[in-house]
């Protein structure tokens, strides 16, 4: 018995060590972004989540195109332009701002319902969560913009002088603006951490920028004090760029300036949003 035990102990001592269990370090950042963005895009499979975002701007377009239609008969209104051709580019821009606010609200919701805490327990890069949400929400916003464009053409007779290319150019302006402001609202959401705090702030900012702009009437037709604000309102510049593209009157500087500002906004707020998100989650 002693001999057998000694042989077993000797064999155990001379046996090669067992390999250590593999440690899972997570996938690459690009793969993480792809998976997380796909998770957010699965909302397209649920009509109950998609239809409200599509129908709301169309219903608002129906109301505003009828209520303010008489504006097209004023002397300040551009000659030879129908009101729907004038109004829709503005709605593309304002719709993108609303979509950007929803990005921030969705992020704060996930921070409070425990989903982000689960991600933190996994080998997931912090920035991947925000980049994936930005990509997914931008894609959803693009779908909404194209649906609105198609509905306006079929129902309201939208047919600007810029044609299809000009209209798609207006969509690009709106989507890039929504993408950049999405990072602003995600930075705010990472700081505030409560959707009920973010929504009123975003709603007030959106309302002030919308009604103190050239969205519904030309700036020349506004009171002098409001005209001055509308001329420096960043929403007015984005609307002008989208409108000029749709109407076939675009100038290079008018189009490139808002796009450049959007890129600067992303360059400043994306690192801030990721840093704040990493500290507060």
pLDDT at 6: 52
What is the average pLDDT across 19-40? 70
Each residue's pLDDT tens digit, 78-101: 888 899 999 999 999 988 988 898
Asked whether residue 18 carries a pLDDT value surpassing 60, the answer given is: no
pLDDT at 3: 46
Each residue's pLDDT tens digit, 118-163: 877 777 888 888 999 999 999 989 988 998 999 899 988 899 999 9
**DSSP category for residue 170:** H
Top-ranked range on mean pLDDT: pick from 27-36, 120-129, 212-221, 262-271: 262-271
Kindly list the distances between the CA atom of residue 170 and the CA atoms of 85, 122, 146, 156, in Å, as whole numbers in the listed order: 12, 40, 11, 17
> How many residues does the structure list for the chain?
281
What is the average pLDDT across 201-210? 85
Cα–Cα distance for residue pair 260/173, rounded to 1 Å: 11
Each residue's pLDDT tens digit, 212-248: 899 888 888 888 888 888 888 889 999 999 999 999 9
User: Could you tell me which of 177, 160, 16, 24 has the C-alpha nearest to residue 94?
Assistant: 177
pLDDT at 73: 79
User: Could you tell me which of 138, 176, 128, 139 has the C-alpha nearest to residue 274?
Assistant: 128
For 265, the token pair is: 């906004």
Q: What is the mean pLDDT of the chain?
A: 83
For 134, the token pair is: 């930005």
Domain ranges of the chain: 50-280
Q: Cβ distance 174 to 91 under 8 Å?
A: no
* Count of CB atoms situated within 10 Å of the CB of 267: 11
């Amino acid at each position: 018995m002693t001999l057998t035990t000694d042989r077993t102990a000797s064999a155990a001592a001379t046996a090669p060590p067992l390999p250590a269990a593999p440690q899972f370090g997570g996938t690459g950042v690009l793969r993480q972004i792809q998976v997380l963005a796909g998770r957010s895009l699965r909302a397209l499979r649920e009509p109950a989540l998609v239809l409200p975002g599509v129908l709301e701007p169309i219903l608002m377009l129906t109301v505003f195109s009828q209520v303010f239609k008489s504006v097209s008969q004023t002397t300040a209104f551009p000659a030879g332009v129908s009101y729907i051709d004038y109004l829709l580019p503005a709605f593309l821009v304002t719709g993108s701002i609303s979509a950007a606010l929803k990005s921030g609200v969705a992020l704060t919701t996930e921070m409070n319902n425990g989903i982000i805490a689960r991600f933190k327990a996994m080998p997931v890069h912090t920035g991947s969560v925000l980049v994936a949400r930005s990509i997914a929400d931008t894609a959803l916003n693009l779908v909404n913009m194209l649906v609105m464009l198609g509905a306006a053409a079929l129902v309201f007779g939208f047919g600007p002088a810029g044609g299809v290319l000009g209209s798609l150019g207006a969509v690009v302006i709106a989507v890039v603006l929504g993408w950049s402001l999405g990072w602003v609202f995600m930075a705010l959401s990472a700081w505030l951490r409560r959707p009920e705090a973010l929504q009123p702030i975003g709603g007030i900012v959106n309302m002030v920028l919308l009604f103190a702009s050239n969205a519904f009437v030309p700036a020349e037709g506004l009171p002098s004090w409001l005209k001055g604000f509308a001329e420096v309102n960043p929403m007015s510049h984005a609307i002008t760029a989208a409108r000029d593209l749709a109407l076939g009157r675009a100038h290079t500087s008018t189009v490139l300036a808002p796009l450049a500002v959007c890129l600067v906004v992303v360059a400043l707020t994306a690192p801030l949003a990721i840093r704040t998100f990493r500290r507060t989650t």
